[in-house]
Structures are given as structure tokens and as C-alpha cells.
């Protein structure tokens, strides 16, 4: 019985942010291992981007709902702009390319990894601009 209470106390020490940091590190390690083995990381890269986004989302909203919402809006605007530019570049490249060697599933995984990765980096970058975010709110 005493051993069980010790395990519960150890579990209480980890916050949600600590678990998400650990998950991000594990996913990044899996991406690196897949690259070193010569595989193209599709689902692992998408999972890494998803965990990274949720970690940064949790950090942004821990500062307060209004601040988190303002940071999220700036990150969404940044992500939307980059995705539009990437789509325009893709349209111009598609005029020169006759066939695509990637499956639709792989393109979907890379697209989701791009969106969630950009949103996570946006949440990370705009978190440091807190005084301007406070004025924006």
C-alpha cells in the first residue's frame, strides 16, 4: 500500500507542460532515428508537429485567456500567410512537373505537419512579444 502512494506522489510532480515537453522530445528523436535509417518520416513528423502545437498552445494559454487568444490569433495569421505562399509556390511548380511521385496519404501527412508545425512555431515566437500583445487586446 505504501508503494502505491509513492507512485502517486511521483505522478503528481509532472505538469501537463512537462509531459508535452517529453512527448515533443520523444517525437523529435523518432524523426531523427527514421531519417538516420533512411526512411521518410511521414506519420511521425505529423505526430511531432501535433504534440509540439499542443505543448505551445498549453504554454500560451497558461498566461491567461485573453493573452492566449491574442497570441493564438497572431499565430493563426502567420500560419495562414505561410500556407498561402506555399500553395502559390506549389501552383507555379505544378506547371513544370508532369507527375507526382508521392501518394496522397504522404502529401496529407506533410501538409498537416506543415500547418501544425507553423502554428506551434507561431505560438512560440509571438509569446515573447507579450507587451505588444497586451496592447493589441
pLDDT tens-digit series, residues 37-78: 877 777 788 888 888 898 888 888 888 888 889 999 999 999
Give the residue numbers spanning the domain of 10: 2-136
Query: Do 68 and 61 contact (CB within 8 A), yes or no?
Result: yes
CA distance 59 to 125: 12
Rg of the chain on CA atoms, in Å: 19
CA distance 130 to 137: 11
Question: How many structural domains compose the chain?
Answer: 1
Q: What is the mean pLDDT of residues 84-109?
A: 85
C-alpha cell at 55: 505543448
| Alpha helix (H) residue ranges in 37-129 | 43-61, 65-94, 104-127
Chain position carrying cell 493563426: 76
Q: What is the pTM of this model?
A: 0.70
Mean per-residue pLDDT of the chain: 81
Query: Do 116 and 52 contact (CB within 8 A), yes or no?
Result: yes
C-alpha cell at 17: 507542460
Q: What is the mean pLDDT of residues 3-9?
A: 53
Amino acid at each position: 500500500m505504501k508503494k502505491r502512494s509513492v507512485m502517486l506522489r511521483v505522478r503528481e510532480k509532472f505538469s501537463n507542460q512537462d509531459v508535452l515537453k517529453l512527448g515533443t522530445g520523444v517525437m523529435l528523436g523518432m524523426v531523427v532515428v527514421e531519417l538516420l535509417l533512411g526512411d521518410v518520416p511521414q506519420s511521425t513528423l505529423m505526430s511531432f508537429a501535433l504534440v509540439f502545437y499542443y505543448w505551445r498552445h498549453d504554454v500560451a494559454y497558461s498566461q491567461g485567456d485573453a493573452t492566449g487568444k491574442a497570441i493564438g490569433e497572431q499565430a493563426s495569421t502567420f500560419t495562414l500567410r505561410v500556407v498561402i505562399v506555399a500553395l502559390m509556390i506549389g501552383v507555379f511548380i505544378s506547371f513544370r512537373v508532369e507527375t507526382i511521385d508521392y501518394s496522397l496519404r504522404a502529401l496529407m501527412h506533410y501538409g498537416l505537419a506543415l500547418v501544425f508545425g507553423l502554428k506551434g512555431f507561431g505560438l512560440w515566437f509571438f509569446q515573447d512579444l507579450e507587451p505588444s500583445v497586451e496592447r493589441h487586446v
